[in-house]
Amino acid sequence: MAVRRIIKRDGRVVKFEKEKIANAIWKAAQAVGGKDYELAKRLADEVVAIVNEKFKKTIPSVEDVQDIVEKVLIERGHAKTAKAYILYRQEHKKIREVKSILGVKDDLKLPINTIKVLKSRYLLKDEKGNVIETTSQLFRRVARHIALVDILYDPLVFDINKEQEVKDMPDENDIPQEMLDIGLNKYNLKMLYRAYKRLNLKRYMKVSFNELLEIIRMKYKSKIKKTEERFYRLMTNFLFMPNSPTLMNAGAPLGQLSACFVLPIDDSIPSIFDALKYTAIIHQTGGGTGFSFSKLRPNGDIVRSTRGVASGPVSFMRVFDVATDVIKQGGKRRGANMGILRIDHPDILDFITSKDTENMLFSNFNISVAITDKFMEALEKDEEFELINPRTKQAVKRLYARQLWEMIIYQAWKTGDPGVIFIDEINRHNPTPHIGMIESTNPCVTGDMLVSTEYGLLRMDELADGHHTALVVDRRVIGDSDVDISPMLKAWRTGVKETYKLVTKSGYELVATPDHKIMTPNGWVPLLQLKPGKDKVLIQSAPGIWNTNKKIPFDNSFQKEWSKELGHVLGWLIGDGWLRDSDKNRRVGFSFGKNDRDILCYLKPILNRMYGREIKEIIRENGTYHLSYHGKSFVEFFRKLGVKPVKAGEKEVPVAIFTATRDAVVGFLQALFAADGTVAVDEKKDNIYVRLTSKSLRLLKQVQLLLLNCGIKSRVYNRSRKRAGKFRYVDKHGKEKVYESNGILYELQINKESLQRFLNEIGFLCNKYKDKIKKINGHRFYKDVFEDEVAEIIPNGKEVVYDLTEPLTHSFICNGIIVSNCGEQPLLPYESCNLGSINLSKFVENKGDKAYIDWNKLEETVKQAVHFLDNVIDANAYPIPQIEFMTLANRKIGLGVMGWAEMLIKLGIKYDSEEAVKLAERVMKFVQEKAREKSVEMAKARGNFPNFKGSVWEKKGYKYMRNATQTTIAPTGTISIIANTTSGIEPLFAVVFVRRNILGGEEELVEINPLFEKISKERGFYSEELMRKISETGSLRGIEGIPKDVREIFVTAHDIDPEWHVRMQAAFQKYTDNAVSKTINLRHNATINDVDKAYRLAYKLKCKGITIYRDRSKSVQVIHIGQKEKHAEISNNHKERESKLKESEEKCPVCRSKLYYAEGCYTCLACGFSKCG
C-alpha cells in the first residue's frame, strides 16, 4: 500500500508528495552542475518505492525519507549529488536550530537574514517580547486587513454618486470587539469603523455600519477572501512588498500604515513646536518625517514680539534632532528626518556644513539643499546669486553661485551630506498645482458666526476653544463642484477689531473684519470692497454634514439620544409652545389648533413617555388644545437644549439643534413648519412656495442656516406693518377679544428647486398640507443658483474676532457664506507616502538557455499592487487629522521596484551598459502605464481623487484617475532583505558584505549573493577559498578564476563609474511620477570632481534630486565590505591626520577665514569650503 502521509518535524501530519523529493534531488544535482531533471524524477521514484516497502504500517517522518534519499544517491553512483544533498541537510538543520533559538516559527521556510529582520520589527510579540505569530500569519494578517477595504466599495454598500443621507454612527466603544467566525480581530473592526465613517460623511454609504457588518459576514468568502488570498500570494511569493509600517501595523494596535510624512513649518514658535509635537506622534507610529525649514527667518534677524533676535533654522533643527534621538519609531524603527533648506536662504552656509565631521550638529537628519533653476543658471554663467530673507523677501547678501556649489560638493564628498533636490523640476511635475500657496493675511470673523463642520453648525468661538473637527468646504473655490470635508488645523482668538456686517438680498449675514475675503463668481474680494446691489457672493451649494453621534450632550433622565421625535417636540415647542421658568411657574406647554388634532395625537404619547406620567390635553372653549408639563427638572432639560423662556419676537432655534443628528434637525423643521408655516399655490401666476412666518427675525435667519445645511436655499422678507393693527379673536374661555399687534412680522420663503428638495426630504409633520402638496406634483421647478446679491454692508463696531486655517481649499463656510481661511498655508502640507515595491527579479523566466521578462505576469502584479496600495489609504489610521485629510484628498500612492540588479543578472545584462539603461526605461514605462491603467479602472468604480478637478490629469483629458500619483522608487532596505533581493534600483553593493545597525543595535547580517553562488556552482568554479578571497574586497575585480561574462554581470556599486549611476537614476525617473531614491555609491578614493560631475549630470538629465555616498565617509554606515581594504585605509587615515596643512595667503571666499593647502586642494577649516587644482 502506497504511503499517503508524512510526519513533519513540528509533529504535523501532512500529505506525502513525491514531487518534493524530486525537487530536492534536482536542487542538489544543480549545485554540482546537474542538468537532467528526468533523472531526478526517476531517482525519486526509487525513493518512493523503498518508502512504501519499509513503511507499510507506519507513517514515515521527514528524516526517514531524507535518509533514504541519501542512500539511493550513493548506491546509484551520484556521490557529488549525495554530498551536496548531505550538505543541504546539514545547512538546513543549522538554520532550523537558529530559528528555534530566535523563537520564530517559520512555516514559509525563509532565509535566516529575513527571519532576523522579521523578528526584530515585524512579527507580533506579547508583553514579554515573545513572538506570537508565524511568518505566514504575519502576511495573512496584513492581507486580510487591507483586503477588508473592498467591502466598502461593494455595490451593495457604495454609491459613487454620493446621493446617500449621512447615517447615524454607533459609538466606537459600542462596536463588536471581534468577529471570530470569519477571523476578524478588533483592529480590523476599528479600521472598518474609521473608513466607513469617512465615506459616510461624504454620503457614499448606502447602509448603516451595523448593516455593513452583516454584509461582511454574507460576502466574506465570495468577495473579501478572494482579494485577501491574492494579496497574500503577492507577498508570500515575494512579487510585491508594502512599506515597513504596513507590515508592522496592519491588523495590529497602531494601525498606522504610511512610511513618511511631510510637515509644514511656518515662521512662528507655535508652528515650529506643533510640528515637533506631530513629529513625535508620527515617529511613535513607525513613520518618518520630512520638513522644509526655508520659511524660518535667518539667524540674527529681528523678532518684533520680544525685541530680540532669531536663532535661525539650523538651531531649531537641533531641537528636532534631539527629540528624535529619544523616540524610536513605533518602538521598532529608528527615528528618521529629512531636512531641506532653499539655496537662497541666508543661513544656507551653516546648513551645508551642519553634518561636517568636525562640526556635527545632527545625528538624526538627512539633509538636502533645494536647488532652483535660477541658481543653476547663475552657476553656469559664473554669476553672483542673492540670498533672500524669507520674512522680508529682501536680498541680504550676494555670493557667487560657484562658491556655494563647491561648498555643497565638498561636504557631500567629505560626509555624504548634503544631497540636493531640484525643486523647480519637482514642482513642474506636481499633479495638483491648484492646491498651493496663498498670500498671508489676517482677516477674522466674530465668535457668534456659525461654521459648517462634520458635527453640524458650530460657533466660531467654540472652535477656538479647542473643538477638534473637520470643516465642510465648498469645492467651487478650486474650480470643482459639490462640498467636501477638510481638516481645521487650528482656530484661535486674534483680539478686538473693527467689524462690518454683510447682508445679502436673501437675508444671509456675515460679521467680519473689512479685509476678510469673500468668494464671489469672479474670485476672492475683501468684504469692504464688495459693492451692494452689484456684487454677488457664493453660498453653500450642497448639503453639509450633521452630527452622527446620537447621544444627548448632557446627562438627564428624560431622553438619552437624539431622534426625529425629539426634533418634533422641539420644533412644535418653538412654533406653538411656551416655556416658563420662574420660581412659582415652571412648566413647558404646547398648543394645538382645531386642525392640529393629528399632531396632538402624535406628540402626546411621546411627551408623556419622556415626562414619565400620563398628561391629558386640555380643550379650550375656542376649540384649541393644550398640553402642559410642570416640574423643575423637565424645564431644565429643555433649557439645557437651548429653549429660552422668551416672548414670540425673541424666539431662537435651540442651540443644541445646530449640532444634533440629521433626523433630529429634520424633525425640528417638520414640526416648526407645521406649526407656523404653510404652502402657497397660485397656479395662475405660476407662483408656488413654502413659507414660515415669525415675529422673531433671529429665529428665521437661524432656520435659514439649518435649511442651507440641508441643501435648501431660502429668502427672508420683512412683512412688518408700519402701523400697529387690531385683530379680533376668541380667547380660551370662548370670549371675543381685541389683540393689538405691534406690526412686526417676518417671512421665510422657499421656492424653485429648493422647494422640491424641501418637500421630498423634509416636509411637514403628520403630512399637514398634503392636499396642497398634491397640486405641486409634476410641477417643473427653476434651478437654484447658490449665490446671492450683496444688499448692504453696515459698520458693526469693534468685536472680539477669530481665525482658523484649512489646508485643502483655504476656505470655509461661515453663516452659509464661503469665506477665505485666515492664515498662510505652504505648498501641499501634511502629505504622506503610501509605498510598496515590486520585486523585478521574480519576473525573469527561462525558455531553454534564453532568459526573458514575463510581461503578462508583471502587468498582473502591478495592477494588484495598485489595488493594494489604494486600499491602504482607506485602511490607514492616520496619526493626525491634517495628514488624514490631505492624504485622502490626493490619494497618492508610490509603487516602486526592487531587485533591478538581480533582474539584469538573470538576463545576463551588464548594469553599466546602454542595454541596461534602455531596459530600465522600458520596464519603468511599462510599470507606470499599467499602474495608471489600474488607477483609471479603480476611479470608474470608486471615484476620482477629490482634488482631481483642476489637476494635471483633467487638463490632459483624463476623465478618471483614482490616485494623483502612482509611482515612486523609494528606499527598500529592509523589505528587500525580506524579499531576499537587491535593494531598489541599486547595483549589487558587493558580492559578499556585512550589514550593520540594521536592527538598531549590534546585530550583523552576513550576506552572500545567492545568484553568484548558484552560477559559480553550476559552472564549476565555486570554492570556499574563492568566496573568502572575494569577501576581502567585496568585488570580483582582479579576482582570477572567474569567467569574464560572470565578472561583468556581477558588477558592484564601487565598480561602476558615477556617470552610469546617474544615468540609471535618470532612466527610471523619466517614467516615475514622484522622486527616485538612489544613492550614487562612490569608491573611497573618488574625487571631489567625481561628485561635481554627478550633481551636474543629475540636473542635466532632469533627476529630481541626487544623493551621493563615498565609502567610509561616515563614521557609521549600514553596509560594510572589504575588511582587508578597510583596515589598511584606517592606518593611512592616521598618517593623514598627522600631516600638517600648509597655510595659504588666499582667504576663503565664503567666510573670509584662512585657507589651508594639502594634496592639491585648498580648504577652509572654519566653514568647510574647498577647491582643488
Give the model confidence (pLDDT) of 493-536 as tens digits: 888 899 999 999 999 999 999 999 999 999 999 999 999 999 99
d(CA 610, CA 552): 14
**Among the options 454, 824, 986, 1007, which is catalytic?**
824
Q: Where are the beta strands (DSSP E) in 893-942?
A: 894-898
281-299 pLDDT, tens digit per residue, is: 888 877 888 888 999 999 9
789 a catalytic residue: no
pLDDT at 1131: 40
pLDDT at 112: 76
| Residue type, position 1109, single letter | Y
What is the reported pLDDT for 426?
Answer: 81
Q: Which residue has the cell 417638520?
A: 670
1143, 1149 contact by CB (below 8 A): no
- Is the pLDDT confidence value at 1122 over 90? no
Residue 189: strand pairing partners: none
Confidence (pLDDT) at 609 = 95
Mean predicted confidence (pLDDT) in 900-924: 96
Tell the burial category of 233 from Cβ atoms under 10 Å away from its Cβ (0-12, 13-18, 19+): middle
Give the model's confidence band at 110: pLDDT under 50 very low, under 70 low, under 90 confident, else very high: confident
53 is catalytic: no
732 class by beta-carbon count within 10 Å (0-12 exposed, 13-18 middle, 19+ buried)? middle
* pLDDT-derived band at 588, boundaries 50, 70, 90: very high
pLDDT at position 685: 62
Least confident of 159-163, 182-186, 953-957, 1146-1150: 1146-1150
* Residue 322 pLDDT: 86
Q: Is the pLDDT of residue 986 over 80?
A: yes
Using the 8-state DSSP alphabet, how is residue 764 labeled?
Answer: -
Q: How high is the pLDDT of residue 1070?
A: 93
Q: Which residues lie closer than 8 Å to 351 by C-beta, 6 or more apart?
A: 293, 313, 314, 341, 345, 367, 369, 418
Q: What is the pLDDT of residue 723?
A: 59
The burial of 18, by beta-carbon neighbours within 10 Å (0-12 exposed, 13-18 middle, 19 or more buried), is given as middle
Res. 705: pLDDT tops 60: yes
The confidence score (pLDDT) of residue 335 equals: 60
Catalytic: which of 113, 359, 442, 980?
442
Does the pLDDT value for residue 742 go beyond 80? Answer: no
pLDDT-based confidence at 933, cuts 50/70/90? Answer: very high
Q: Are 454 and 659 in contact (CB under 8 A)?
A: no
Instruction: Describe the crossing of helices 209-219 and 186-201 by its angle, rounded to 10 degrees.
Output: 120
Given 260, 444, 710, 1148, which residue is catalytic?
A: 444
**What is d(CA 278, CA 282) in angstroms, rounded to the nearest whole number?**
6
Look at 27 and 1119; give whichever has higher pLDDT.
27
pLDDT of the residue at 95: 66
For residue 815, pLDDT over 90 is answered with: yes
Residue pLDDT, tens place only, 223-238: 899 999 999 999 999 9
CA 691, CA 677: separation in Å to the nearest integer? Answer: 5
In this structure, are residues 502 and 527 in contact, taking their beta carbons and an 8 Å threshold? yes
What span, in angstroms and rounded, lies between the C-alpha atoms of 109 and 583? 81
Does the pLDDT value for residue 836 go beyond 50? yes
pLDDT range class, residue 1126, cuts 50, 70, 90: very low
User: Which cell is 1138 given?
Assistant: 598627522
pLDDT exceeds 90 at position 160: yes
CA distance 227 to 233: 10
- Name the pLDDT band for 439 (thresholds 50, 70, 90): very low
- What CA–CA distance (Å, rounded) separates 482 from 473? 9
pLDDT above 80 for 333: no
Predicted confidence at residue 1000, as pLDDT, reads: 47
More confident residue, 291 or 467: 291
Average pLDDT, the chain: 85
Q: What is the tens place of the pLDDT at every residue in 960-976?
A: 999 999 999 988 878 98
Highest mean pLDDT among 355-364, 542-551, 774-783: 542-551
Which of 394-403, 647-656, 1105-1114 has the lowest average pLDDT?
A: 1105-1114
What value does the mean pLDDT take over residues 670-687? 85
Question: For the residues 877-892, what does the mean pLDDT come to?
Answer: 88
Residues 6+ apart with CB under 8 A from 720: 743, 744, 745, 746
Inform me whether the pLDDT recorded for 939 exceeds 90.
yes
Q: Is 444 assigned a catalytic role?
A: yes
Residue 1162 has pLDDT above 60, yes or no: no
Mean pLDDT for 726-736 is 60
**% of residues, the chain, pLDDT over 90:** 49
**Helix/strand/coil for 270:** helix
Question: In terms of Cα–Cα distance, which of 406, 341, 335, 402 is closest to 368?
Answer: 341
Distance from C-alpha of 1153 to C-alpha of 1165, rounded to nearest angstrom: 8
What CA–CA distance (Å, rounded) separates 512 from 502? 8
What DSSP designation does 957 have? T
pLDDT in tens, 619-639: 987 788 999 999 999 999 999
Contact indicator for 708, 456 with CB cutoff of 8 Å: no
What DSSP line would sit under 300-360, residue for residue? T-EETTTTEE---HHHHHHHHHHHHHT-EETTTEE--EEEEEETTSTTHHHHHTTT-TTS-
Residue 76 backbone phi and psi in degrees, to 5: -95, 10
pLDDT of residue 1170: 47
Mean pLDDT on 584-600 = 92
Confidence at 440, pLDDT banded by 50, 70, 90: very low
